[in-house]
Structure 1
């Protein structure tokens, strides 16, 4: 059962292959995955800016599926904490506030510099790169992570990906440690 909680920052939900893998991992119950409607709004806004081929309806459907399929994922009641928090970018305070509110252990983010240790340590929260986060999950339960990766890869239909193409896609997202471990441990992906 879940032993720790991780808040996903919008930047890790932006790339569809990573968002999808993080969702499959959330379904393993190795940890509690959490986010907010504000985090959703941020990644959706940025995807729409850079992907004119996608619509708000498509991304809203994705958001709704995420919310419906990951138990207790939405953090609420954090907004009153935001004014008291200090980060270099005030736009990131809502993520930290959500993490504090749900007693998260981690903020999974590519933007580690935006969540400095001195701001997070007093709250017992750590900012962690998604590659390191996934690698820790692999170390915790390689069978569950391999199964999640297999479910993700076999669910892809347009286009279908070979094992190598799938792992290459994850590597392009900066998941080098995770991909190396998956290559070694998960022959059935």
Structure 2
């Protein structure tokens, strides 16, 4: 799994986070390594469903915590083109079964409760229509992060 991650994201493996572990005073000490890796890796957001164990007053300045739904909604709000590109990139990897864009949006809404994101996603998908696999959606000229 790490080999696949590293082949897609050259900074997927964070090293030397250990000295920071235990310095944040999180409610669950077993989560300290997550913040330590985020700090060393230069992340500005931790995406997790475990929001209660990452209170803002225990995080370093500039680091925030978002649920998957919040992160998706933020991505759509900031850059609908990037979100559509990311969605289509992920869908292009599905072979059996093939997942249609509208079905993927339904999954995002039902599984991750991405209600706020679904309308902008749909609008973006329609604005960049031209193929069910997103070939007509231009690749953003800036990093897509974990999506691309």
- Which category of TM-score, normalised to the shorter sequence, fits these structures? 0.7 to 0.9
Deviation at 1:75? 1.2
Which of 43, 51, 75 is equivalent to 1:112? 51
2:16 to 57, 73, 77: 77
Is the CA contact 1:100–1:123 (under 8 Å) kept in the aligned structure 2?
A: no
The alignment status of 1:91 with 2:30, answered yes or no, reads yes
> Structure 1: which 5+ residue stretches go unaligned?
1-59
Number of equivalenced pairs: 127
When normalised by structure 1's length, the TM-score is 0.61
User: Does structure 1 residue 157 correspond to structure 2 residue 130?
Assistant: no
Which fold has the larger relative contact order, with Cα–Cα distance below 8 Å and residues 6 or more apart in sequence?
1
Q: Which residue of 1 aligns with 2:6?
A: 67
Normalising by structure 2, we get a TM-score of 0.76
Identify the match of residue 169 of structure 1 among 92, 107, 112. Answer: 107
Q: Is the 8 A contact 2:21 2:33 kept in 1?
A: yes
Quote the residue 2:145 is aligned against.
Answer: none
Structure 1 residue 97: Cα displacement: 0.8
- Distance in 2 (CA, whole Å) between partners of 1:64 and 1:170 is 27
- Over alpha carbons, which structure has the higher Rg? 2
How far is the alpha carbon of 1:170 from its aligned partner?
1.7
Q: Does 1:123 align with 2:61?
A: yes
Matched, 1:142 2:67: no
**Which runs of at least 4 in structure 1 moved beyond 3 Å after TM superposition?**
none
* Structure 2 equivalent of residue 55 of structure 1: none
Query: How far did 1:129 drift?
Result: 1.3
RMSD value, Cα: 1.8
